Structure 1
Amino acid sequence: MDYREASRYAISDVALHKYDIDEVSCGFDFDQSLRGRVVDISLKGLGIEIDNLNSIQTQKVKNLDKYLLTIKFGDDTILAGVKSIWSQVLHGNGNMLFKGGVLIDLISTEDRLTLWGIIEKIRNSL
């Protein structure tokens, strides 16, 4: 059963090359060197993944309840305060992969309109 309030769109379903984009990335306020990718997106939240974490970074991101996320979709950038809803760390081949779902807790009106525009681009490319 899906308890989400808004439809999420998988980034993998999107023809990113249509927008000259390799991926939709995200950055974190608590560690400027950390980069992740957005795997799905809605007006209410995001699914994110972060590859090749070290143990300190893994514990930090797992233990944070709220943080600021910078989302980049081509030339569009959004800053949002997010709340962690779920997370999981997978281990394999000596690497750690963080997977998580976040709820958008705080976002400016301008950034919400930008997010809406990004979702429209995704919907139109399906």
Structure 2
Amino acid sequence: MQGTLFDLPAIPPEHAVIARFQQGGDDLGEPNQWSLVFEAERSIGAAVAAAGVGEVDGDEFGGGEVVIFAYGPDADALYRVMEPGLHALPFRPAHVVLRYGEPADDVVSKRVVL
């Protein structure tokens, strides 16, 4: 035994898909917009879970936009499953950031306009 008691596999870094949609109305959007977001989020979450590519972790309203967060081991695979549901939301401008690893100054990311 050199150095460690157990030889555990390395935990892969967590990737993220972060979708940002501009909304109308006040700082938190409008109630009819909330219901569209919640419905899309449930549908996208079910698709992500069924595909086994990660999880949709929730949303955040504020500053005239809504942000939907999802995490998994492969940002590209996660985005492919989420993409139809994200495109279905009517709010624009909108974009998605695919983050390939844990949050850090030097993490690789890609921006996709919806």
- TM interval, shorter chain, is 0.3 to 0.5
When the two structures are superposed, what TM-score results if normalisation uses the length of structure 1?
0.33
TM score, norm. by length of structure 2: 0.35
Structure with higher helix content: 2
Greater percentage in strand: 1
